[in-house]
A and B are shown apart, each in its own frame.
Chain A
Amino acid sequence: MDTTQLLKGVLDLAVLAVVDGEDGYGYDILRRLRTGGLDEVGDASVYGTLRRLYAAGALTSYVVPSESGPHRKYYGITTAGRDQLKSQRDDWHHFSTTVTGLLRDDRPKQGAAS
């Protein structure tokens, strides 16, 4: 199954969850997502999502200059971001439980024996 479409729906949630644990810069966050199992996630998708969440006020950002190369931009979660994470986490649990229930093998089939 192509998980790209599924990923699109939950990327905000995944990114917020990862940043909630610890502030991080773009590539660091990408690495955490991939280590967490989302190994098909594209880097531009993650960076774009970070920018959008920042613009929406869910994330805050600060620049850390580097002596060895270009400066890094770190992201941290805001209170609004935590609220969003909490409500989306609840939504996800509800949604995934529902879908898992629908997919259960022992669920009585509609129109089967009566």
Chain B
Amino acid sequence: MTDNMLEARPEIAEFMTQVRARLADLDPEEQRELTDGLEADLTDLVAEHGSGALGDPQDYARELRTAAGLDPVTGKVREHRPIGESIDGFLDAAHDRWDRAFAMLPGSPSEFVKAIQPVWWIARAWLAVELVDVYFGRSPHTPVPSIHGPLIGATLVLAAAIVSVQLGRQKLWPASLVQGSVVARLVLLGLNLTAVVLTPTVLSQFPASGQTVENHFYYQSTESTTIAPSTLISGDKGVTNVFPYDAQGHPLTGVQLFDQDGRPLDVRWTNGSYDAADTTAVAYPWVSGGTEAFNVFPQAQRRQSDDARVAGAWSLPDPPKISWLARFVVPHASLPGVTPSDVVLPAGTLHHQKAR
């Protein structure tokens, strides 16, 4: 087999599929009669004049039918076509329309698009890695993905770029099967569309110049928990509760926390996520001098179907409670020259107490 034939075959097979689809209303014997040997003839045609000589399969089928003395109209063929062929036909038609519309523009834009195609191949590779970075990487987000460090991020971008370029050159699945498989075609289309659609998402992850890191965290955390901008941050998540332990590792209940300026550390939050039983965790603050104190920890929570606090919740059969971290062992801590607070807790005091 010559290189020429190898190269031309997928296009011819696709062309044949398109032509056959437009002969599908004929009886099998007639179809066989019309298409038998056609592939060889088309292969010769393409070998001599290039794949452009194939033309439009619909026109071709019509001409073939007319010359063979059959009704040139394909009738109800489309309704009987398998779903795969229908999708294929739809994609082909869309592609055709696009190509034709493009061909009408001045200055051969299709050649320009072909020339910049590799830029898109690289861009989508970078987008893919950035997307992984948005969910698994460190914050704040950077143009070089920082998954476990910029070196790994850059390496991943390089690897993704190679895969993407090979896809673009139709050397890898699913692109290598685009001519023959509807599934491969749809997968590839889906991947490209996903890349396009997610571009704004990825770009919006970069902190704008002048924007503080705190604000950036605020935006990132909105997916499950709505947090006021003044909230505490731990890692890349808003803090929803604080569990204090003393230097000996004993849990402390009712600890009041203040910042460097004497302001209460306010951890106000609403949990926007509901579990399978359709309940959500709602925080019930401690009370200080008749007002709610959101800086006293740990905070008590109650699982309920509504995210508004229930009046008289403390007298309900299932009052708000502090859920200490199960089997959480806190090591001893020390600082030279500093004597830790001497807090001795009687055994079994891990229940909720209201502040004075």
The chain A residues found within 8 Å of chain B, CB to CB, are 11, 25-27, 30, 42-49, 51-52, 54-55, 63, 66, 68-73
Contacts and interface: CB of A to CB of B under 8 A. Distances in A.
28 contacts: A25-B37, A25-B40, A25-B41, A27-B40, A27-B44, A43-B41, A44-B59, A44-B64, A47-B67, A48-B63, A48-B67, A48-B68, A49-B68, A51-B67, A51-B68, A52-B68, A52-B69, A55-B33, A63-B36, A68-B2, A69-B5, A69-B39, A69-B40, A69-B43, A71-B37, A71-B40, A72-B41, A73-B36
Contact of A26 (B5, B38, B63, B68): B38
Residue among B40, B45, B65, B69 with most chain A CB within 10 A: B40
Contact of A48 (B43, B59, B64): B64
Nearest to A15: B67
A104 to B, nearest CB: 33
A26 B44 CA distance: 10
Contacts of B37: 25-26, 63, 70-73
Interface of B: 1-2, 5, 9, 33-34, 36-41, 43-45, 59-61, 63-69
Contacts of A25: 37, 40-41
A52 B40 contact: no
Contacts of B59: 44
Binding site secondary structure of chain A? helix
A70 B45 contact: no
Residue among A43, A71, A73 with most chain B CB within 10 A: A43
Given A42-B63, A48-B34, A66 B68 contact: no
Contacts of A44: 59-61, 63-64, 67
Contacts of B36: 63, 73
A94 to B, nearest CB: 25
B41 A26 contact: yes
A70 B40 contact: yes
Given A26-B38, A70-B39, A70-B43, 13 more contacts: A26-B37, A26-B40, A27-B40, A27-B45, A44-B61, A45-B63, A45-B66, A47-B38, A48-B66, A48-B67, A51-B34, A55-B69, A71-B37
Return the 4 tightest CB-CB contacts between A and B, nearest first.
A48-B67, A73-B37, A44-B63, A26-B41
Given A27-B41, A43-B45, A71-B40, A11 B67 contact: yes
A60 to B, nearest CB: 13
Nearest to A48: B67
A72 B40 CA distance: 6
B67 A68 contact: no
A49 B34 CA distance: 10
